[in-house]
A and B are shown apart, each in its own frame.
Chain A
C-alpha cells in the first residue's frame, strides 16, 4: 500500500512526545505529516518553533488553503479545526468538538475520507478520548492505525481510548513509531 499522508494527534504530554518523534523522521521523508496538538486557544507559533529545533523536515503552522506538500510537517493552529482537501488544507472555526479545537477526530476523519486507505493515523499521549473515533474512521477506510503503547505514554488515557476503538491497531513506543513511519512505502512520484 502506498501511503499519502500521516496524521498525528496528541494532547497532555504531547510536546515531549512530538519532539522525540519528529527527530526520528529522516530529511528524505516523503509524506506530508500533520500534527494536531491540543493547546490553549491563544498559543502562538511556539509549538512549531520548538518542533523545528528537533526536526530535519520543515515545520510550519497551517494557514487557510495552504498546499499540502510531501516532506513537510504541518501544525494545526490553535483555536481552529483543520480539515483536509485533495491538495490543500482548510480551516474552520466551528464549535469545539468534545471541548477541543483543533479536534483530532475532525482532522483524522477528514483525512480518512479524503485519502482513504492512504491515511496513516497516530494517537499519542493525552488525557482525554479525542482521536479514538477518528482513528476508527481511518481503520474503517483501510488506513494504517498506530497507537503509542499506553504504558510508555505520559498520559495513557488517549492511547487507551484509541485502542478500545481500534483493538487491532499497531502499538509501539515513540522510537518504534518513528522507525515504522520512516520505512513506509510512499507514492512513486513522491519517492
Chain B
C-alpha cells in the first residue's frame, strides 16, 4: 500500500497511516467488548457503515484510534451510552418514500379490510416517524380501531421519543409534501400541534400502539402479525444477520401476511425468497405464500 502523503481534512476516518487489517482487528475487539460488557451485540452489523459511525464517535470524543475508544467506553458508562446511541439509531422521516404509502393505502388497506382484527409490527421503529405515518393512513381508512400496532426498537431512548410523538417543526414542510404525494387528502396540520420548535402529534394516533424494547439481533418472535414493517433497518446488518432476522419475520407472519421492506432492500439474496410473492406496484412489499 502506498505511503500517504497529505493529511485528510474534516472527514471522519482513520489517520493517514492506514492499515485496514489492523483497523478491522480493533473494531472487532471493540464490538466484542461492548457485547460482553453491555449485552448489545453489533458484531454482525454491516461493516462499512458501523465503521463510519465508530470513526465519527472517535472524533467526537477527540480520540485518535478505535483502541482508545474501546478504553473509553469500557470504563466510562456515559461514553458507552453515547456510542450505543450512535450505533443503534436509524434515521427516517414521516411518509418516507411516498410511493410506498400510496401502495399501502391503495393495495394493502383493501387486504387488511378483510381481517376482523389487524396486527402490525414496526420492527426497528426508531423515533417512530413511520409508526405515525401508518397510523394516519389506518385512521383515514377507518381501520385504526381494529388495529393493534407493536412498535419496537433496540434502543429505549428512541422509544421514549417515539412515545412522546414530538417531531422537529422544521421537518413539517417536507412531511406535508410527502403526505400529499402519498395520497393524503386531509390537511396534514390537523394531526399535530406546533409549539416552540416541536410538532406534537395527536396522542389519539397511538391509542392502539404498544411501544416496547425488542432486539432483532437476539430476541425471538413474540406474536403473529398481518403486516411487518422493517424499512431501512436490515441495510445496517450483514448478510448472516439479515438471514436470521428474515427467519424471525417469516415465523412472525400469518399465512398471507405482508412484509414491507425499504425500497432498495429485497429478499433476492435471502433463503426466504421463495416463501413470498411480491405485490404489484413496484414497492418492496412481500406476501407470505408458503
> A99-131: which have CB < 8 Å to B?
105-106, 109-110, 113-114, 116-117
Quick one: which of A51-107 are within 8 Å of B by CB?
A: 61-66, 77, 79-80, 83-85, 90-95, 105-106
A7 within 8 A of B: no
Instruction: Determine the interface band of chain B, counting residues with CB < 8 A from chain A.
Output: 35 or more
Pairwise interchain contact A63-B268, C-beta atoms closer than 8 A? yes
Closest to A44 in B: B99
**Contact in complex: B264, A106 (CB < 8 Å):** no
| One of A63, A65, A113 near B18 (C-beta < 8 A) | A113
Asked whether B239 lies within 8 Å of A110 as measured between CB atoms, the reply is no
Q: Is the CB of A85 within 8 A of B47?
A: yes
Q: Is A139 an interface residue (CB 8 A)?
A: yes
Residue pair A133, B91 in contact (C-beta under 8 Å): no
Select which of B1, B3, B4, B232 is within 8 A of A93 by beta carbon.
Answer: B232
A83 adjacent to B49 (CB under 8 Å): yes
Would you call B11 and A110 a contact (CB within 8 A)?
Answer: no
Chain A residues positioned under 8 Å from B232 (CB to CB): 91, 93
Complex CA–CA separation, A63 to B266 (angstroms)? 8
How far does the alpha carbon of A133 sit from the alpha carbon of B13 in the complex, in Å? Answer: 11
Contact B46 A90 (CB under 8 A): yes
**Chain B residue contacts of A139, Cβ below 8 A:** 5-6
Which residues from chain A contact B268 at a C-beta distance below 8 Å?
Answer: 63
Contacts A63-B264, A65-B269, A139-B5 given; 19 further ones with Cβ under 8 A? A64-B264, A64-B265, A65-B239, A65-B242, A84-B48, A85-B47, A90-B46, A90-B235, A91-B235, A93-B235, A94-B91, A113-B13, A113-B14, A116-B2, A136-B6, A136-B8, A140-B4, A142-B4, A165-B9
Interface of A with B (CB < 8 Å)? 42, 61-66, 77, 79-80, 83-85, 90-95, 105-106, 109-110, 113-114, 116-117, 133-134, 136-137, 139-142, 165
Closest 6 CB pairs of A and B: A142-B2, A83-B48, A133-B11, A64-B235, A140-B4, A92-B49
